[in-house]
Amino acid sequence: MENSKVKSATDSLKALVALVESLRGEHGCPWDKKQTPRTMLIYLIEEMYELADAIESNRAEDVREELGDVLFHIVFTARLFQETGQFSIYDVAREITDKMIRRHPHVFGTVRVDNTETVKHNWHKIKQDEKKPGKKKSVIDSVPKRLPALMRTYQICDRTARSGLDLKDAESLLQQLESELNDLKQALKGNEEERISEEFGNLLFDLVNLARSLKIHPETALSGALKTFENRFRQMEKRVSESGTNFDSLSQAEIQQIWQTTSR
């Protein structure tokens, strides 16, 4: 039974590869035949965000669908490179398999680990050893520039900390946050636009660094807080609607009162 499932999965992947070949073929789709890796990039990014939404919703059928959309775009993009003789989707699969085996010596080798921190340390060390001479000059060169600022800040803080630049513990970072908040208050008092933006950025940066120190991913934490806010606001909208009024007819004080009595 297990072998038949593996064969079915392999056949499905081959069918997807064949479908993409047909779309790009002589009698394929005019739109698909016009695409390049660069034009496909925005669609792949959009699909990744839709996948993230599906995972947050915790609905398996939605996750399965969005994973399929992402897989299609990966296979499609690989096909574009195959057409220029560079690599195929099977080269991609082989390379990532080899990489994962190499980075899990505690599973596929003889290395012993006691906890996840050791696993992360070994992963970082192996990754550093894999770097080709002259390819990257800095440990932060591998952090994608297209990442949203919150995620990119976290990644850069994490990499620099692993390189030894981890000068502050959580308590020290909390004290620094208080200092940055005071700086922001001073900038607000002086109505200094440029300084306000700068100090606000510093405050955000230190919050991200604090999250890393506490082993919390700021993107996940913020997503959770936003989800709570959205649910609360929808409840508030429902209460206002059921009362036969609308927001435009409510005073700021009335809105605040309804908000305070709406459950999180």
In SS3 terms, 192-203 reads as CHHHHHHHHHHH
In the chain, how many domains are there?
3
Q: What is the mean pLDDT of the chain?
A: 88
Q: What is the mean pLDDT of residues 190-217?
A: 92
**Closest Cα to residue 238, out of 184, 230, 63, 122?**
230
Least confident stretch, 55-69, 166-180, 197-211: 166-180
Which residue, 153, 166, 164, 159, is CA-closest to 213? 166
pLDDT of residue 137: 73
Question: For the whole model, what pTM was predicted?
Answer: 0.67
Angle at 223 between CA 219 and CA 224, to 5 degrees: 120
Rounded (5°) CA angle 31-35-36 = 175
Residue 112 counted as domain residue: no
Whether residues 16 and 75 share a domain: the answer is yes
- Does the structure show a pLDDT above 60 at 1? no
Residue with tokens 């605040």, as numbered in its chain: 256
What is the distance between the alpha carbons of residues 67 and 62, in angstroms, rounded to a whole number?
8
Of these ranges, 111-120, 197-206, 237-246, the one predicted with the greatest mean pLDDT is 197-206
Residue 131 has pLDDT above 90, yes or no: no
Confidence of residue 2 (pLDDT cuts 50, 70, 90): low
What letter does residue 132 receive in the DSSP assignment?
P
> For the residues 4-18, what does the mean pLDDT come to?
81
Question: Which of the two residues, 78 and 258, has the higher pLDDT score?
Answer: 78
Residue 145 lies in a domain: yes
Using the structure block, give the residue that is written with the tokens 């038949």: 4
What is the model's pLDDT at position 167? 62
Length of the chain: 264
Assess if residue 246 is contained within a domain: yes
Among the candidates 184, 199, 216, a domain finishes at 216
Are residues 226 and 209 part of one domain?
no
| 49 in a structural domain | yes
For residues 1 and 76, the model is more confident at 76
**Residue 18: half-sphere exposure toward Cβ, Cα within 13 Å:** 6
Residues 204 and 154 in one domain: yes
Q: How far apart are CA 258 and CA 64, in angstroms?
A: 39
6 belongs to a structural domain = yes
| CATH label of the domain that carries residue 76 | 1.10.287.1080
Please report whether residue 195 resides in a domain.
yes
For 232-250, the pLDDT digits (tens) are: 999 988 888 888 888 888 8
| Together in a domain, 6 and 81 | yes
Do 208 and 224 share a domain, yes or no?
no
For residues 209 and 151, give the distance between their C-alpha atoms in angstroms, rounded to a whole number.
11
Residue 75 CA to residue 93 CA, distance in Å, equals 11
Measure the CA angle with vertex 68, ends 17 and 47; round to 5°: 110
What is the pLDDT, as a whole number, of residue 73? 97
Task: State which of 19-23, 120-124, 131-135, 248-252 shows the largest mean pLDDT.
Answer: 19-23
Same domain, 212 and 231: no
Residue 210, H or E segment: helix 193-213
Domain residues for 226?
220-260
Average confidence (pLDDT) over 31-35: 95
Q: Are 163 and 155 in contact (CB under 8 A)?
A: no
Residue 134 confidence (pLDDT) above 80: no
Rounded to whole angstroms, what are the CA distances from 234 to 95, 126, 261? Answer: 46, 47, 13
Contact 24, 77 (CB under 8 A): no
- Residue finishing a domain among 26, 57, 87: 87
Which tens digits make up the pLDDT trace of 44-102? 989 998 998 899 888 999 999 999 999 999 999 999 999 999 999 999 999 999 999 99
| 224 and 211 in a common domain | no
pLDDT band at 5 (very low <50, low <70, confident <90, very high): low
User: Does residue 147 or residue 86 have the better pLDDT?
Assistant: 86
Instruction: Work out the angle at residue 89's Cα, subtended by the Cα atoms of residues 84 and 95, and round it to the nearest 5 degrees.
Output: 110
In whole angstroms, what separates CA 144 from the centre of its chain?
11
